[in-house]
Structure 1
Amino acid sequence: MTGLTNGIVSGGVIHDAATFDERLRRAASAFATLGVGNGDCVAVLMRNDAPFLEASLGAQRLGAYAVPVNWHFKSEEVRYILEDCGARVLVAHADLLRGLDDAVPDGVTVIQVPTTPEIAAACRVPAELLAPTPGALVWDELLARHAPQEGPPAPAADSMIYTSGTTGHPKGVRRRPASAEDRLRVEQMRDLVYGLQQGMRTAVAAPMYHSAPNAFSLRAVRLAELFVCLPKFDPEQLLALIDREKLTHLWLVPTMFVRMLKLPAEVRAKYDVSSLKFVIHAGAPCPPDVKEAVIGWFGPIVHEYYGGTESGPVVFCDSKEWLAHKGTVGKPIPGSIVEVQDENGNALPAGERGEIFMRIGFYPDFTYHNLPEKRAEIDRKGLITCGDVGYFDNDGYLYICDRIRDMVISGGVNIYPAEIESVLASLDGVRDCAVFGVPDAEMGEALLALVQPLEGRTLDPEALRAELRKHIADYKAPKRIEIREDLPREDSGKIFKRKLREPYWQNAGRAV
C-alpha cells in the first residue's frame, strides 16, 4: 500500500464496500448449495484475510454459525473441533491443509483459499505450499459460479468460538440468535465498547479466530472506510501503517503495547500516531506502568474493557477513569450485572476479593455445544463466571487480581501471580514471563517464574529477583526463576500456563 486507501485491504487486494458485500452474498449462495442452512456450522481455518470475513458473514446470512479454528492447531485438535461442531464446510488457507488429511471428517466439503504472499512472508510459509492442490474446490472460483443471495438475511448468529480452557478439549460457545431488538442493543453495546463508528479507519493484527478480534472485525468491516487485515502483529509495521494510512481505531492486547514500547525511542518517534481516536484493549491484564506509558504516548484515547467469550464485555473505562483509578478494568456497562461473590454466592462489599460473576441482560444466552453440563457448572443464579478473582473499590470500579486456577497457596498464604507478572514484565530486558505454583515439600506450593528475554539480551535470575523485591513483598518473589528462550503463548497474548505447569505436577497427585 502506498498512500491513503479506501476499502477492505487484504493480501495486496483492495475490495470496495459494494464488491465485498457482493462477495459475501455469493458466499451465502455457495454455502446454501453445499447444504448449509440455519443452525449449521461453517468452519474457518485461516489467518487474517478477507475470505475469513467473507466466509463468516456469508454463513451468518444463512443463520449458520461460523466456527473459527485456531490455525496453530495440530491435526487431532482440528479434527476434534470439526467433529464436535458438525461442520458441513471447511474454508481454509491452502498451506494449512497440508498434513491435515486425517483431520477432515467424511462429509465435510473443503474449500481452499490461496495463501497470499503477504501471509507467506509474515508466517514463513514455503512458496510451494501457497497454491490450492490440483482438483481442489477454490474459494474465488466457487464464488464466481454463484449469483449473490437476494432478499433479507436470516437472523444472524454470532461466531461459535471454541474456548481454550485449562483442561481437556476446548468448548464451543454456541449463542442463540438474538431477536431484532436485542441484536440492535448488542450492536450498540459493541459500538460503545469498541468505539466503532461509520467511516472509521482500522487494522486488525490480533487473530480473528479469537473471540474479541472476531466480534470487532465482523462489525467494523461493515462500518469502516478502511479495514486492513494484517496477517501478523509487528510493532513497527503497525506504527508505520497508522502513520501512512491515518488509522483512527485499533483493538489491541497488552502484549502489543509492551512490544511497541520496547522499540527504541528513535524508532517510535519516526511515526505520527496523532490520527488515532480510539484504542481499545482487553484479553489479558495490562501492567499499570505500561498502560500509563501508552496513554502518555497515544493520548487519553486508550480504553479498556473486561469480559469473556461467554459473557461478552461487561465493564468498561476510558483513560480519564483509569488514571483516576489505576489498575481498574472499569465500571459495569449499562445493562450488565457484575458481582464479586464469596464461595457461598454472597455478594461481597467493596475491597473484598472474590470470584466475579456477571451477565448482560440483553446478550443472547449460550450453551457449551454438546456440553450443557459444563454451562451449568459456571452458572450461579443466572450469572456466569470466567473464573476470575477481583474486587470493587468504593467508587464502583472493578479490579482483577487473578484467575482462581492460577492462585498459588504457599504456606497457607494466597498469592496471585498476575501481580508478580506485571512487575516482571516491566523490568529491563524482559520480553515475556509466566509465574505459577510448583510442588514444594515444605510450603505445599512454591512460586516459579519462567522469563523470556528480549532478543540479544542476557538475564540473570538473581538480579531479577533482587529487582522484584524492590516492588513486591519478599514472600511474593518466586523461589526459582528460570530463563527460557521461548514461552508458549497464543496470539491473543495469553500464555499456555497449563502446558508449562504439567511437567512439574505430573507425579504430584494434583491436577493442573
Structure 2
Amino acid sequence: MTSLAHQRTEHRCDWKIGDSMTPTLVYGGRTYSPTWMEEEVRRVLAGLHDLDFKEGDTVAAMLRNSPHYVALVLACRQAGLYLASINWHFKALEANHILVDSGARALFIDDDLLPQVREGIPDEIAVVTTSSTSGTKDNAVAPSFANWARWEDFGAGRPSMPPRAGTAHSAIAYTSGTTGKPKGVRRLPAAEDQPASMPQRLQRVSDTVYGTGTAVTAYLCAPIYHSAAMNYVAHFCTLGATLVLEPRFDAEQTLALIEKHRVTHAYLVPTMYQRLLNLDPSVRQRHDLSSLQHVASTGSPCPVPLKQAMIDWLGPVITEAYGSSEAGYTTFIDSATWAHQPGSAGRPLPDARVHILDDEGRPKPNGEIGLIYVRQHAMPDFTYINRPEDRRAIERDGLITLGDMGYINEEGFLYICDRKADMVISGGVNVYPAEIEATLLTMPGVVDCAVFGIPDSEFGEGLAAAVQPRAGFEITPSEVQAFLRDRIANYKVPRVVDMHTTLPREDSGKIFKRLLREPYWRDQTRAI
C-alpha cells in the first residue's frame, strides 16, 4: 500500500491562487477565511501535481456539501481539470459507471460513503478520503486501495501544479436519456475561432441567473454534486462573496441562517419552497428575511400557485431560469415580469437562441406547442462522453433539444408544457425511469414493469411503478421497494408500487405509459 501523502516527485513550480477565487465560507457554525481557502486549494493542487495530473484530466468526487468540496471545485478550475461529481446516494454499480466512463484518475470521497461503493471503485484510481464522525476508520480504508491518502495529508508540504492559461474546464454532469444509461456531459475547450469575449459573456449570463453585486452573502443548501449548485458555488467564489453553506436543506434552519447572516442571494428549488411554506406561519413570521435580494431557482418548473405564494411572502425577489447541463441557461424571468406572464420560463438570455420546432424540424407558429430547441452561444460546445451518436441525435441546425415541449407566445415568452421523454423531475432532481425499470427487471418473479411520474405535493413529481409478476409468483410492493433500495439510490425507489396482471403495450412492444399515468394526472391542472 502506497499512501499518496508520502509520494514525492522532483517537479518544482509555483501556483498563484487568483484573488477573485477566495471566498469567505460559513459552514457548521464556523467561518473559513479566504486565507484558509487559499491554503486548502494550494494543497489539493500540490497533491494532484504529485499524481501527475495535467490540464484536461478528470477528478471524481463523492462528497457531501463541505468546505473540502468547495476547495476541490476551486482547485479543479484553477488547474483546468474536469470534475465528475457522483451523487452521494449512489451504490457501487452507479458509481462505477461514472468513474470508468469519465476516465477519472482520482476519487475524493467521504469515508463513511466508502462501504456503499467500495466494490465499484477501480483498483487503479487514487482515493482521497475525508473524515466524518460516522466514518470508516483509517485502518479499514488503507488496506483497500493501492493509492490512498487522508484529505488533510493530501499534498501537504508539496509544490503545486503549474499555472494554466485559458478558460477553466468545468464539471462533468451525468444525465440519462431513454436508455437509462447515464451520459457524461463534457464541455469542450473553446474553439480557436470563438471570440475572446466568451468568458465575459458567460459571466453576464451567470450574473443574471444567480445574481451579483457587492458585499454579497449567498446561501446554498442544495447538493454541490448537482451541476447548478456547483456553478452557483463557482459563481460566488469568483465574486469573492461570503458563502453560507449547509450540508442539507432544513426549512426552519434556512430561515434562521438567512436572518443571522443577512443573506442577500439564495439558491432554492420548488420542493424547498413547498417545505418553507408548510412551516407554521408564526415560525415564518419570526424571521427577518428583508436582506434577500435575489432567489434563484433552476432545478425544475415551479407551479404557478407555489411561486405566487413565495412572491407574496418574500416580495419580488424570486427568479427562474430554464436550462440544462448540455445547453446551459437559455431563458430567465424575474418576479416583476412573471406577474404579467405567470407560468412562463421567461425570455431568452443574452447570447441564447430558443426555437419551437415540430418533429420534422419546421418552425412552429407562436402559441403552438412543439419541441424546444435551444443554444447558448456564451458557452463552448459539449459532447457526451463515449456517446457521439447520442450527441448527434439531439441536434438540429446547431440547436439542441432534450425533449421538452412548449410554446412561445406573441410577446416572446417561453412556456414549458410537457416532456416528450419520460424523465421525471422530483424535487429538482432528474430521475430516469428506464434505469429503474432495467434494475427492476432483474428481480426474480418480475416479468414486466413500467416506472413513471405522478403528482407529489412535496416534490412536484413522485415515482410510481406498475409491476407485472410472473405467473405463480407472489410479490408485494414492499418487496419491490426493498429490492430496489439495495441496488439504486433511495430517491429513485418508487413511493407507489401497483401490481398488474398485464401491462398495456403497443403493437410495437412499447408500453402505453400514458394510460398508466392518466389516472394520477386526470384531476391535475398541469402535466409536468
Q: After TM superposition, is the score higher than 0.5? A: yes
Q: CA deviation at 1:100?
A: 2.5
**Correspondence 1:346 to 2:362:** yes
Give the match for residue 202 of structure 2. 186
The answer (yes or no) to whether the contact 1:201–1:224 under 8 Å persists in 2 is no
Give the match for residue 113 of structure 1. 130
Gaps of 5+ in 1: 1-5, 118-126, 409-416, 440-449, 451-483, 489-493
Q: CA deviation at 1:351?
A: 1.1
What secondary structure does 1:324 align onto? Answer: coil
> 2 CA distance for matches of 1:171 and 1:22?
34
Q: CA deviation at 1:283?
A: 1.2
**Correspondence 1:318 to 2:334:** yes
Give the match for residue 438 of structure 2. none
> 2 CA distance for matches of 1:404 and 1:497?
22
What secondary structure does 1:14 align onto? Answer: strand
Give the match for residue 146 of structure 1. 158
**Correspondence 1:89 to 2:101:** no
> 1 CA distance for matches of 2:418 and 2:493?
13
Give the match for residue 405 of structure 1. 421
**Correspondence 1:103 to 2:120:** yes
> 1 CA distance for matches of 2:182 and 2:188?
19
**Correspondence 1:137 to 2:143:** no
The answer (yes or no) to whether the contact 1:434–1:497 under 8 Å persists in 2 is no
Q: CA deviation at 1:169?
A: 1.7
- CA deviations over 1:440-470 (Å, ceiling 9, x no partner): xxxxxxxxxx9xxxxxxxxxxxxxxxxxxxx
Give the match for residue 261 of structure 1. 277
Taking a change above 3 Å as real, the CA distance of residues 73 and 435 of structure 1, as seen in their structure-2 partners, is closer
**Correspondence 1:169 to 2:186:** no
- The range that moved more, 58-67 or 74-83, is 58-67
**Correspondence 1:53 to 2:70:** yes
Equivalent AA in structure 1 for residue 288 of structure 2: D
> 1 CA distance for matches of 2:494 and 2:58?
29
The answer (yes or no) to whether the contact 2:64–2:247 under 8 Å persists in 1 is yes
Equivalent AA in structure 2 for residue 138 of structure 1: R
The answer (yes or no) to whether the contact 1:59–1:65 under 8 Å persists in 2 is yes
> 2 CA distance for matches of 1:143 and 1:132?
20
Q: CA deviation at 1:9?
A: 2.2
Give the match for residue 5 of structure 2. none
Give the match for residue 286 of structure 2. 270
The answer (yes or no) to whether the contact 2:45–2:155 under 8 Å persists in 1 is no
Give the match for residue 3 of structure 2. none
Give the match for residue 41 of structure 1. 58
**Correspondence 1:18 to 2:35:** yes
Taking a change above 3 Å as real, the CA distance of residues 128 and 300 of structure 1, as seen in their structure-2 partners, is closer
The answer (yes or no) to whether the contact 2:48–2:161 under 8 Å persists in 1 is no
The answer (yes or no) to whether the contact 2:256–2:287 under 8 Å persists in 1 is yes
Q: 2:96 aligns with which of 59, 79, 90?
A: 79
Q: CA deviation at 1:140?
A: 1.6
The answer (yes or no) to whether the contact 1:79–1:104 under 8 Å persists in 2 is yes
Give the match for residue 324 of structure 2. 308
> 2 CA distance for matches of 1:437 and 1:195?
40
Give the match for residue 8 of structure 1. 25
- The structure showing larger relative contact order (alpha-carbon pairs under 8 Å, at least 6 residues apart) is 2
The answer (yes or no) to whether the contact 1:304–1:316 under 8 Å persists in 2 is yes
> 1 CA distance for matches of 2:63 and 2:90?
11
What secondary structure does 2:350 align onto? Answer: coil
> 2 CA distance for matches of 1:134 and 1:407?
37
Give the match for residue 67 of structure 1. 84
Equivalent AA in structure 2 for residue 112 of structure 1: T
Q: CA deviation at 1:187?
A: 1.7
**Correspondence 1:365 to 2:381:** yes
Equivalent AA in structure 1 for residue 269 of structure 2: V
What secondary structure does 1:160 align onto? Answer: strand
Give the match for residue 510 of structure 1. 510
What secondary structure does 1:110 align onto? Answer: strand
> 2 CA distance for matches of 1:34 and 1:371?
28
- The range that moved more, 498-507 or 277-286, is 498-507
> 2 CA distance for matches of 1:112 and 1:495?
25
What secondary structure does 2:233 align onto? Answer: helix
Equivalent AA in structure 2 for residue 266 of structure 1: S
Aligned-residue sequence identity (percent) comes to: 36
Q: CA deviation at 1:300?
A: 0.5
The answer (yes or no) to whether the contact 1:201–1:248 under 8 Å persists in 2 is yes
Q: CA deviation at 1:164?
A: 3.8
Q: 1:334 aligns with which of 350, 358, 363?
A: 350
- CA deviations over 1:126-173 (Å, ceiling 9, x no partner): x35477856451112114232455645553111111114343321100
Taking a change above 3 Å as real, the CA distance of residues 346 and 354 of structure 1, as seen in their structure-2 partners, is same
Give the match for residue 215 of structure 1. 231
Equivalent AA in structure 1 for residue 80 of structure 2: G
> 2 CA distance for matches of 1:305 and 1:66?
24
- The range that moved more, 349-358 or 182-191, is 182-191
Equivalent AA in structure 2 for residue 375 of structure 1: R
The answer (yes or no) to whether the contact 1:356–1:388 under 8 Å persists in 2 is yes
Q: CA deviation at 1:38?
A: 1.6
The answer (yes or no) to whether the contact 2:352–2:374 under 8 Å persists in 1 is yes
> 2 CA distance for matches of 1:496 and 1:347?
36
> 2 CA distance for matches of 1:385 and 1:63?
28
> 2 CA distance for matches of 1:202 and 1:294?
18
> 1 CA distance for matches of 2:459 and 2:292?
26
Q: 2:244 aligns with which of 206, 224, 228?
A: 228
Give the match for residue 459 of structure 1. none
> 2 CA distance for matches of 1:320 and 1:369?
40
> 2 CA distance for matches of 1:502 and 1:340?
37
**Correspondence 1:380 to 2:392:** no
Q: CA deviation at 1:497?
A: 9.1
**RMSD after superposition:** 3.1
> 2 CA distance for matches of 1:495 and 1:347?
38
> 1 CA distance for matches of 2:99 and 2:423?
33
Give the match for residue 197 of structure 1. 213
**Correspondence 1:395 to 2:407:** no
- CA deviations over 1:406-447 (Å, ceiling 9, x no partner): 499xxxxxxxx99x94xx73xxxx6765488979xxxxxxxx
Taking a change above 3 Å as real, the CA distance of residues 393 and 131 of structure 1, as seen in their structure-2 partners, is farther
> 1 CA distance for matches of 2:497 and 2:403?
18
The answer (yes or no) to whether the contact 1:24–1:55 under 8 Å persists in 2 is yes
- The range that moved more, 252-261 or 57-66, is 57-66
Taking a change above 3 Å as real, the CA distance of residues 433 and 359 of structure 1, as seen in their structure-2 partners, is closer
What secondary structure does 1:279 align onto? Answer: strand
> 1 CA distance for matches of 2:207 and 2:74?
18
The answer (yes or no) to whether the contact 2:209–2:321 under 8 Å persists in 1 is yes
> 2 CA distance for matches of 1:91 and 1:147?
20
Equivalent AA in structure 1 for residue 117 of structure 2: L
- CA deviations over 1:81-140 (Å, ceiling 9, x no partner): 10111111101111111243221112110001112x5xxxxxxxxx35477856451112
- The range that moved more, 45-54 or 499-508, is 499-508
What secondary structure does 2:359 align onto? Answer: coil
Q: TM-score scaled to structure 2, two decimals? A: 0.75
